[in-house]
Amino acid sequence: MKLTQDGEVLAENKVLILYILNKLEEPITNDGLLRLVLSVMDMNYFYFQQFLLDLIERRYIICFEQDRKNVYQITPEGKNTLELTLNILPGIMKLKVDTSFEGQLKQTEEKESITAEYTPRNENDYMVTCKINENNNCIFEVSVFAGSREEAKKIVDNWKENAYRIYPEILNSLNS
């Protein structure tokens, strides 16, 4: 796909992004939105970013920071535009979004609800913060010290892979 393609194909891609954002109840990260778009159609990452910028410039979507991440959400102007241009989107694409969307959305929400990051305080001192978010609220957060970058990265990776197991263990220990 080239950005110089006919306007109808470009408009279709933007309407697809608006259609997906309109289905979401909560804001979504760039990576999460890209995963949802890619579950419906093949789109070049750089074109996707350009479409997002165009939609933001036209105020059809907004980008704001939430939990130190940039997230996207459709605006009332975007909803009005979607309503007027929805017929541009092929029925098969709408059907694909509507049917495969639930599984992809759940997978995306789960991936974004468990976060971890490390922050260097000096050369051998890292603070690792692990979180679980639910409905845009942090329901669990723990910060731990790591003595090296490798140890910090290991903690982050372990949390992202095993939070579903670690979190209940911590709660159980705290309740005993």
Give the residue carrying structure tokens 């920071």: 65
Distance CA 52, CA 55 (A): 5
Contact 100, 112 (CB under 8 A): no
Beta strands across the sheet bearing 61-66:
28-29, 69-74, 61-66
| Residue 34 amino acid letter | L
DSSP E strands: which ranges in 17-164? 28-29, 61-66, 69-74, 114-122, 125-134, 137-146
Give the residue carrying structure tokens 């029925």: 91
pLDDT tens across 66-86, in order?
877 889 999 999 999 999 998
Give the residue carrying structure tokens 């329901």: 139
Domain ranges of the chain: 7-111, 113-175
Distance CA 27, CA 94 (A): 20
| pLDDT the model gives residue 111 | 59
Distance CA 165, CA 31 (A): 25
> What is the CATH code of the structural domain delimited by 7-111?
1.10.10.10
Widest pairwise Cα distance in the chain: 64
Coil, strand or helix at 163: helix
| pLDDT the model gives residue 4 | 44
| pLDDT the model gives residue 2 | 42
| β 114-122/125-134 pair status | antiparallel
pLDDT tens across 132-147, in order?
877 667 888 999 999 9
Coil, strand or helix at 64: strand
Angle between helices 91-113 and 30-40 (to 10 degrees): 150
Token pair, residue 160, equals: 């992202």
Give the residue carrying structure tokens 């890292």: 126
Q: What is the mean pLDDT of each run of 10 residues along the chain (176 residues)?
A: 56 92 87 86 89 95 86 94 90 80 62 82 90 79 92 92 86 82
